[in-house]
Chains A and B, each alone.
Chain A
């Protein structure tokens, strides 16, 4: 380990010790034991470099050399400040976090009598909520991954969502994360936990926007448990600043006959690393994973997925697409593991990229680890440009060349975005993508 990384580790350890003395009464809470365990795991781990196989194409040096301060200041934000991010009619429940801190006054949480819990996580950690402690840190492996260990040691806040059995929520639940650095660097440790019991159904929308410019690091972890016969959908839209660093772990465990759909749209960020782990842990479970990103300037977006087929008759389907311009870089690395007993597995993986400049680059790395014999697995990667024939076809119908390009690029994104069933959100994301395409592509 180099001196810089070892200094950084020391500063995290000091930060933890200082943090501990400030905790007062909450040192008695069970979460504290978890934090300490995570820290001791962190101590024996090393920060990845491009020599680390899983980080071959993503150089974290710019993140590691910065050593962002841990922010505890709470900027004054009124609801009129974030009004521009409102999508009318989208959600009945919205939890708002500014720089990782929960803002009750900006949030709206409906009172619920039927056992549904929608709450900031920190509150329940303090209350000793049984459902939280049953599941927290059970899926995202803090003893294996350094950033998850850090997140677990420093858990700030996030959303806790609990859907009791046979409860189907019609309206999505929204988590609105707003960054407001005002030029002051900081780091945050966001943590969500979504638990859906047997036969339940829920859609969670997590959005990340920014109010001012600046550098910061978001280390976030979302854990998801999908009960037998339950359906959980998670849609994320990320529009952080172009100087921000985002390291995310999303880890889902699927039980029998369950389904998990995930759709991630990344438009902002300087270096973005999305780690997505799915464990198909019950027979007949299925997961559909979609990702779309835009990378221009010197943006770097890395989608790293691991699908573990552990039981028979499970389906997984992955489609990741990106449009890159300037010196934008994209990475897709997808591992599909099929256990010996996971017969009748169907696993499809596809990564398609549109490169609009000579300097843009995409690295695609599929990995299949198959130990069962009755399995259907396919993977494919394509890199292309806009089809000149299609441009001419649209021009011949009276559409200008510039509009034809925008239309075709939007259409490339459309294959992902059209999977969003909530029309308000779908149109909102379409517009955001179109605006970016017109401005920068």
Chain B
């Protein structure tokens, strides 16, 4: 699905990612863990196409396309979804209008017919249930005045509507209480198929109790220093990141 090779990224001359290699196949869930400042969010944002990052070396191939050359909207239309760490409040744009616009853009891109109002409402109602959100959300402005938990659930709702191939969850667990965390994780698990894939970026292991990863990577100082199965996440939970830092210092 996605193949990242020797990816090096700088921000204002500072190298943040120092040669990332990562391959995610359809049906897999990869977790990327690491201490603050290790470059986790940079990786998520670079994949989504945010400006302000200089890609100095390496390649990213997504669904057979050169991702680096693609505009953010085309990445989205090709099926790459970023659940934002800080979802943006957009007063004056109603959820229902926003989603209809977005979903129909993606469908047009693939030469599919756009939804009419009734079909679309039905689809939205169905997907709202997945994250236990009320229909009232549809007439509210995007994320405007939403609580932290509502914002994160809204990201998963949008993911459900857009049906992406690859979803990147950037610190989706931050600021969530346990109930909201369960709802979010449950939503993701229901959306999981053999055809799609997830990259879960997180500082803590607790989200991985509910979204069980196939592979766990540890990112430290811009490099993946350790990869393993879900036991690696447990180990990090118990021992923290200090051992990673020590090991990395001795190399």
Contacts and interface: CB of A to CB of B under 8 A. Distances in A.
Interface in B45-72: 48-51, 71-72
A267 to B, nearest CB: 18
A392 interface: yes
Given A411-B93, A414-B92, A395 B73 contact: yes
B48 A396 contact: yes
Contacts of A412: 92
A219 B143 CA distance: 44
A403 B101 contact: yes
A411 B91 contact: yes
A407 B141 CA distance: 12
Contact of B76 (A395, A407, A415, A418): A395
A398 B162 contact: yes
Contact of A400 (B51, B73, B93): B73
Contacts of A123: none
Interface residues of B, number: 29
Contacts of B102: 394, 397-399
B158 A397 contact: yes
B76 A396 contact: yes
Count class of interface residues, chain A: 20 to 34
Contact of A390 (B71, B88, B103, B162): B88
B91 A389 contact: no
B150 interface: no
B207 interface: no
Interface string B177-210: 0000000000000000000000000000000000
B22 interface: no
A398 B73 contact: yes
Contacts of B77: 398
Nearest to A389: B88
B226 to A, nearest CB: 29
Contacts of A93: none
A66 interface: no
B92 A393 contact: no
A21 to B, nearest CB: 56
Contacts of A389: 88
Contacts of B29: none
Given A397-B98, A397-B102, A407-B101, A387 B76 contact: no
A426 to B, nearest CB: 13
Nearest to A393: B88
A410 interface: yes
B15 to A, nearest CB: 23
A403 to B, nearest CB: 7
A398 B105 contact: yes
A135 interface: no
B92 A411 contact: yes
B82 interface: yes
A144 to B, nearest CB: 38
Contacts of B141: 411
A339 interface: no
B93 A396 contact: no
Interface in B91-125: 91-93, 98, 101-103, 105-106, 109
Nearest to A415: B92
Contacts of A408: 90, 93
Given A408-B93, A411-B92, A414-B92, A401 B71 contact: yes
B184 to A, nearest CB: 18
B148 interface: no
A21 B106 CA distance: 70
Contacts of A395: 49, 71-73, 76
B162 A397 contact: yes
Contacts of B87: 393
A398 B109 CA distance: 9
Which of A394, A397, A398, A410 has the most B CB atoms < 10 Å from its CB?
A398
A401 B50 CA distance: 12
B90 A393 contact: yes
A393 B73 contact: no
Given A387-B88, A389-B88, A392-B50, A399 B93 contact: no
Contacts of A413: 92
A399 B105 CA distance: 6
Nearest to A412: B92
A407 B93 contact: yes
10 shortest A-B CB distances, which residue pairs? A411-B92, A414-B92, A397-B102, A395-B72, A398-B76, A393-B88, A398-B106, A398-B105, A411-B93, A395-B73
Given A396-B73, A397-B98, A398-B103, 15 more contacts: A387-B88, A390-B88, A390-B90, A392-B88, A394-B102, A396-B84, A397-B162, A398-B77, A398-B109, A400-B73, A403-B101, A408-B93, A411-B90, A414-B93, A415-B91
7 contacts: A392-B50, A394-B102, A395-B71, A396-B76, A396-B84, A398-B102, A411-B93
Interface of A: 387, 389-390, 392-401, 403, 407-408, 410-415, 418
